[in-house]
Chains A and B, each alone.
Chain A
Amino acid sequence: MLIDVRPVAKLTGPNPVDVAGALAPVFTALSTAALDLASLRVVCDWIQYRHNFYEPVEVRPVLADRPRRGEPDVGRERPAESGLEIAIDMRRHRDGGLAARVTKALAEQAGDGGTGHVLLEPWQPASESCLWRFNTLYWQALSHWEEATGREYEQALPGGRSEARDTGVAGDLIRELLRVWDELDARRALPEELYIAELGVGNGSQARTWLDTFTELDRQHGRDYYRRLHYLMGDYSAHVLDRARKAVAHHGDKVSTLVLDATRPQQTLAFLRGKAFCVYISNVYDNLPADDVASIRGHPYLVEVRACLRRADAAKIARRYHTRPGELAALVHRLLRLGPDLLAEAAPGQFRATGDAVAFWQDTWSALRLRERYVPLDGLDAYQVTPAMTGEILRPLLESCGDVRMHVSNGALASFAGTLPLLHPFGRLQCHDLFLTEPSGYLTGFHGPGKYDGSVVNWVNGPLLVLAGNRRGFDVKITPARRPGASVKMLTAQVRD
């Protein structure tokens, strides 16, 4: 049996976590379980997100083979398992009756695997789960969510604000740009149009800070590059763009706004290929769909998930909205397809007004849980990480850490790799986000997914982006943000060689 205790930083100091106290009930439960203990892994994590997708005890099967699409996953015909993982959240292990929880979770796993839950979807890679459609809905219907909660989304960011208002960072970048532009101009190689792009514009404060700082520094510089400047603001949400636009209204037609999918920047910004002198991305990557992969006993696995609601939660929600638990999955998918406005119109029996549909959205989001299983990958190249990248990109990371589970950050990787070609040879990409800086970080901590307001937060696999950038000829560096104590880090990518 393998016991993996990840939050090692919490094992020392004045109030160390009581690992023995947490594991003892687990072994008590295992002593009566009919399990092949040699193939069991017990994983102790510390899930720091108060709002998350997991129970204090989770049981995850390790499948022996990759199931065929449509293969039954319950009863005697369910896929064969080669092992089992019991995951304990050390933050909540004292929440009463750990042994009983383990016994119950094992019994449920040994049964049909779904008796305690209302299932919302089939097994699939996490990036395809409806949890990301909830996330999309949050950005599309942000105004409704904010109205219901009474606070703007930026207040939900770690520390209550983004890095966007840091004039120091903007000033350093702009001074460097002015120097490069002077050099290119001297060689008659400076384009007439000077493009800066921002993906994920928030409330426009980054754009305003950047443009106001640029105006001032350009005036001091005396070359009037402002005349040639174009600042492109791109965001998934038209609502967010409208609000951001107001923040930079005083820069008039220097600013253009574009609705775009951050995971496919070239779909909207292909005209920028090789032209952008800076692409700025803040707090976007941690909010894009991501899978998890794991190396277990030296073999690669993809983590498949299925979203569900606990029966008790489902019953409560169903009562509140005049429906039956068995009909909740369909209602949730209607919500995700239509949004709260149209759902209220389409289902007047359940929702008297949009506000009721928003409340339904918030209730289901709050109750949403993920069940997980490990599915073997036949070969890393058989796993498509992004439309243009196979799992081979993961090999150096998976091979560097022994048995490890890590985020693939598919959306972030697609966005990053799709953005790099937009850069001018002297351009740079600058990104503030929650980055892991070493693959070994996955051995010692839990980094998501968690719930931030109505959105998903998942730390970004920084080493994976570094590797992908290197393979494309970029120097990629991840450095701490300037704000003391901030979890957010700054990633910078520039052409090397």
Chain B
Amino acid sequence: MSPATPATAALRGTPLTTTVVGSYSVPEWLGRVKTDYYQRRISAGHLDEIHEVAIKAALKDQELAGVDIVSDGELRRDNDIDYLLTRIPGVEIADRAKTDYYDYYDARVRAPLPEAAGMSPGLAADFAFTREQTRNPIKFSFTGPFSLSRRIRGTGYDDAADLVRALARKLNAQARELAGAGADLLQIDEPFLAGYPEQVDLAIEAVNIVTAGVPVTWALHVCYGNRYARPLWEGHYDFLFPAVASARVDALVLEFARKGFDDLRLLKEHAWDRYLGLGVIDVKSAGVEDPALVAAHIRRALEVVPPERLMVNPDCGLRHLPAEVARAKLRAMVTGAAQVRKELGIRPSS
């Protein structure tokens, strides 16, 4: 078997690289099994095995669709927040049973997080499992410190911003472990940031704590929320600028397909000179995009960002879509990107 391709190399070698944001379709049966676990009806070992099978299937789906950089679909996670919060020492969760696995816990922090203690178990094992299952380059995503902090009651800090910074330090340690395990494309997701535009400076400061000293390609994903396939907020990305220019990340991964592409102007106005992850698939709609429409979106983005700095991806995670729809959408995305590559005379990726 040929060695796995590093994601960074794939990005550099393939203009219009296709990838995913993170989560993959969660079948109804998997949701039910997860809920059974949180209601103490099945054991953790059985759920782990089920997760592993589901991750293998998700990887296979992405490979068959032709996606260049794949993910584990975040299928082990109950939701974007709790999977991380439950691993952070000092975050208290009084009741760990859930009516539905996707519900958020009621999490509290009553004292400063212990600095010496790391997250346990760490995320590197998740990456290592995925690495064993695919030769494709891998993107590994986790929720950022600002969004994590929004789901914690009380701070244990005089200044609430210090909790965000403390969470960022925990995630930085995780990022180092992930890099040590071979991850070279890490993505920070900030799904709640759009609801608190006035705190963008704090969020970016925390992002820089997460990325500090971790020599990988970093992406920052900011969307308008995708919980239950619904936007949590509406608005425009103008709140991100100019603050995001100071983020030590290599790529900005944004939602466009659902909201429209007007905000592309912001990248031009603020001379964004790094990668753009262009959302070309509306993950809140079960309608499958025509590849020609995807191609049209890409051409529009090319007016602002050159092909070697353009990644093509869905608006956000695919978790709320039925598997057949998710597969069809990924195929449409890949076909649309291939169409534009062909127009530009770019050879297909190997």
A binds B: yes
Hey, which bits of chain A sit against chain B, CB under 8 A?
184, 187-189, 191, 274, 381, 390, 392, 395-396, 421, 424-425, 470-474, 495, 497
**Assuming the A-B contacts A187-B197, A392-B32, are A274 and B231 also in contact, with contact meaning beta carbons closer than 8 angstroms in the complex?**
yes
Q: Which of A187, A274, A392 has the most CB of B within 10 A?
A: A187
6 A/B residue pairs, CB under 8 Å, sorted by A? A188-B235, A191-B234, A274-B234, A392-B28, A470-B100, A471-B100
Q: B79: nearest residue on chain A (CB-CB)?
A: A497
How far does the Cβ of B296 sit from chain A's closest Cβ, in whole Å? 22
Q: Which 8 A-B pairs have the closest CB atoms?
A: A473-B228, A189-B235, A472-B228, A473-B227, A189-B234, A497-B227, A473-B230, A425-B231
Decide: A425 and B230 in contact? CB cutoff 8 A.
Answer: yes
Q: Does B232 contact A (CB under 8 A)?
A: yes
State whether A497 touches B234 (Cβ < 8 A): no
Chain B residue with Cβ nearest A473: B228
Answer yes or no: B261 CB below 8 A from chain A CBs: no
Q: Which residues from B are CB-within-8-Å of A495?
A: 230, 232
Give, as a whole number of angstroms, the nearest-CB distance from A421 to chain B: 7
Contacts of B228 in A (CB 8 A): 471-474
Sample of 7 more A-B contacts, CB < 8 Å, known A390-B28, A425-B230, A472-B228 = A189-B233, A274-B231, A392-B28, A396-B99, A425-B232, A495-B232, A497-B227
Q: In the complex, how many residues of chain B place their beta carbon closer than 8 angstroms to a beta carbon of chain A? A: 18
State the majority secondary structure of interface residues on B. loop
Question: Is B104's CB within 8 Å of the partner chain A?
Answer: yes
Question: Do B232 and A497 touch (CB < 8 A)?
Answer: yes
Q: Which residues of B contact A187 (CB under 8 A)?
A: 197, 235
A261 to B197, CA, bound (A): 40
Shortest Cβ gap from A284 to chain B (Å):
23
Please tell me which one of the listed residues B225, B227, B234 contacts residue A424 in the complex, with CB atoms under 8 A apart.
B234
For the complex, what is the distance from the CA of A470 to the CA of B28, rounded to whole Å?
15
B227 CB, min distance to chain A CBs, angstroms: 5
Collect the chain B residues with CB atoms within 8 Å of residue A188's CB: 235-236
- Give B323 Cβ to nearest chain A Cβ, in Å: 15
Residues of B within 8 A of A474 (CB): 228
List chain B residues, Cβ under 8 A from A395. Answer: 32
Rounded to whole Å, the gap between the CB of B254 and the closest CB of chain A is 17
Q: B197's closest neighbor in chain A, by CB? A: A187
List residues of B (3-38) whose CB comes within 8 Å of A's CBs. Answer: 28, 32
Given contacts A392-B32, A473-B228, contact A497 B233 (CB under 8 A): no
Q: How far is the CA of A497 from the CA of B236 in the complex (A)?
A: 21
Closest to A474 in B: B228
Interface contacts (Cβ under 8 Å), in number, total 44
Chain B residues in 8 Å Cβ range of A396: 99
**A277 CB to nearest B CB, Å:** 12
B interface, CB within 8 angstroms of A: 28, 32, 99-100, 102-104, 197, 225, 227-228, 230-236
From A187, A392, A495, A497, name the one whose CB has the most chain B CB atoms within 10 angstroms: A497
A421 touches B234 (CB 8 A): no
Is the CB–CB distance between A472 and B100 below 8 Å? no
> Smallest Cβ distance from A305 to chain B, in angstroms?
28
Provide the residues of chain A in CB contact with B32, threshold 8 Å. Answer: 392, 395
B319 → A minimal CB distance (Å)? 12
Inter-subunit contact B234/A425 (CB<8 Å): yes
B41 vs chain A, min Cβ distance (A): 11
Query: CA of A381 to CA of B28 in the docked complex: distance in angstroms?
Result: 10
State A188–B233 Cα separation when bound (angstroms).
12
- Please determine whether A421 and B230 come into contact, CB atoms closer than 8 angstroms: yes
Bound Cα distance A352, B227 (Å): 60
**Residue of B whose beta carbon sits closest to that of A184:** B234
Closest CB in chain B relative to A140 CB, distance in Å: 32
Contacts of B225 in A (CB 8 A): 425
Cα A424 to Cα B227 with chains together (Å) = 14
Q: How far is the CA of A381 from the CA of B231 in the complex (A)?
A: 28
Tell me how far the C-beta of B260 lies from the nearest C-beta in chain A, rounded to whole angstroms: 13
| Residues of the A chain whose Cβ atoms lie less than 8 Å from the Cβ of B100 | 470-471
In the complex, what distance in Å separates the CA atom of A379 from the CA atom of B102?
23
A188 to B239, CA, bound (A): 11
Set of chain A residues within 8 Å of B28, measured between Cβ atoms: 381, 390, 392
Question: Measured between C-beta atoms, what is the minimum distance from B203 to chain A in Å?
Answer: 16
A274 partner residues in chain B, CB cutoff 8 A? 230-231, 234
Chain B residues, Cβ within 8 Å of A472:
228, 230
CA gap between A495 and B232 in the complex, in Å: 8
Q: Which residue of A lies closest to B102 (CB)?
A: A471
Complex CA distance for A421 and B225, rounded to whole angstroms: 14
Shortest Cβ distance from A67 into chain B, in angstroms?
A: 27
Which residues in A have their C-beta under 8 angstroms from that of B102? 471
Closest Cβ–Cβ distance, residue B42 to chain A (whole Å): 15
Roughly how many angstroms separate A390 CA and B322 CA in the complex, as a whole number? 14
Give the nearest-CB partner of B194 in chain A. A189
- Inside 8 A of A421's CB, which chain B residues have their CB? 230
A474 to B227, CA, bound (A): 10
Question: Which residues of chain A are near B104, meaning CB under 8 Å?
Answer: 497
Which B residues lie within 8 Å of A184 (CB)?
234
B157 to A: closest C-beta gap in Å: 23
Q: Given the complex, which residues of A lie within 8 Å of B103, measured CB to CB?
A: 470
CB-CB nearest in chain A for B81: A497
Report yes or no: B227 in contact with A425, Cβ–Cβ below 8 A: no
A187-B197, A473-B227 in contact; A425/B233 too (CB < 8 A)?
Answer: yes
Cα separation A185 to B100 with both chains bound (whole Å): 35
Q: How far is the CB of B71 from chain A (nearest CB, A)?
A: 23
**Cα A124 to Cα B102 with chains together (Å):** 36
Kindly state the separation between the CA atoms of A187 and B199 in the bound complex, as whole angstroms: 13
Residues of B within 8 A of A473 (CB): 227-228, 230
CB distance from A300 to the nearest CB of B (A): 15
Chain A residue at minimum C-beta to C-beta distance from B39:
A396
Q: How far is it, in angstroms, between the C-alpha of A396 and the C-alpha of B31 when the chains are bound? A: 13
Chain A residues with Cβ below 8 Å from B231 are 274, 425
Question: With a CB–CB cut-off of 8 A, which chain B residues contact A425?
Answer: 225, 230-234
* CA of A381 to CA of B232, assembled, Å: 30
Q: How far is the CA of A191 from the CA of B231 in the complex (A)?
A: 15
